[in-house]
Amino acid sequence: MKAVIQRVKQARVTVDKQEAASVSEGFLVLFAVHRNDEKADIDYMVNKILNLRIFEDENHKANLSVRDIEGEILLVPQFTLISSTRKGNRPSFTDAADYEKAKAFSELFFQEMKMHFNSVKYGVFRAYMQVSLVNDGPFTIIIDSLDRQSPRRQA
């Protein structure tokens, strides 16, 4: 899985001019499912996102998680994150999960997030969405579950 986490003051998703979901202070998480993802990838992402310390504490240091600030999370499926532009100028999406797997893993990701954090909302799977946000900072982090398999660098 791959996710782009944006610290936001607010974010919302609309589909066909109707609001599908919105949050106030917290995270907007754009995410995609890779064709080789397993349940362990979801677990890794849930843990990383919920414990990511990018909100400021009283000393203005990025030291607090979305849990600490009692923020909200808006999850938005976006398969285009799993693209390759290595060859040519038209992105390739062959590494993205097929429809059935992407839908199942997206729903499972949402359910797992909700099990560990109360204030989670979800965009609309495979819909043409308009996403609006007020980025806070801006502060944007990219997490790839493939990183869980990489050994940590030695100092």
> Is residue 112 over pLDDT 90?
yes
The conformation of residue 91, written as its DSSP 8-state character, comes to: P
Q: Is 2 exposed, middle or buried (0-12, 13-18, 19+ CB in 10 A)?
A: buried
Number of H helices, E strands in the chain: 2, 8
From 27, 31, 55, 79, active-site residue = 79
pLDDT score at 130: 94
What's the confidence (pLDDT) of residue 45? 97
Tens digits of residue pLDDT in 60-100: 999 999 999 999 999 999 999 998 888 889 888 999 999 99
Confirm whether 80 is a catalytic residue.
yes
Q: Given this model, what pLDDT does residue 147 score?
A: 81
Instruction: Give residue 85's pLDDT.
Output: 86
H or E element, residue 112? helix 99-116
Mean pLDDT of the chain: 93
For the segment 132-143, what is each residue's pLDDT rounded down to a tens digit?
A: 999 999 999 999
Residue 152 pLDDT greater than 80, yes or no: no
Q: Is the pLDDT of residue 153 over 80?
A: no
Share of the chain above pLDDT 90, in %: 86
Buried b (16+ CB within 10 A) or exposed e, 25-36: bbbbbbbbbbee
In the annotation, is 14 catalytic? no
Task: Quote the DSSP letter at residue 153.
Answer: P
Task: Tell me, yes or no, if 111 is annotated catalytic.
Answer: no
- Interval 111-131 mean pLDDT: 94
* 41 pLDDT higher than 90: yes
Q: Quick check: 151 pLDDT over 70?
A: no
The answer to whether 1 touches 145, Cβ cutoff 8 Å, is yes
Which residues fall within 8 angstroms of residue 15, CB to CB, at 6 or more apart? Answer: 124, 127, 128, 129, 130
Q: Which of 10, 78, 93, 139 is catalytic?
A: 78
Q: Which CATH class, in words, describes the domain spanning 2-149?
A: alpha beta
Question: How do strand 55-56 and strand 2-15 relate by DSSP bridges?
Answer: unpaired
Would you list the domain boundaries of the chain? 2-149
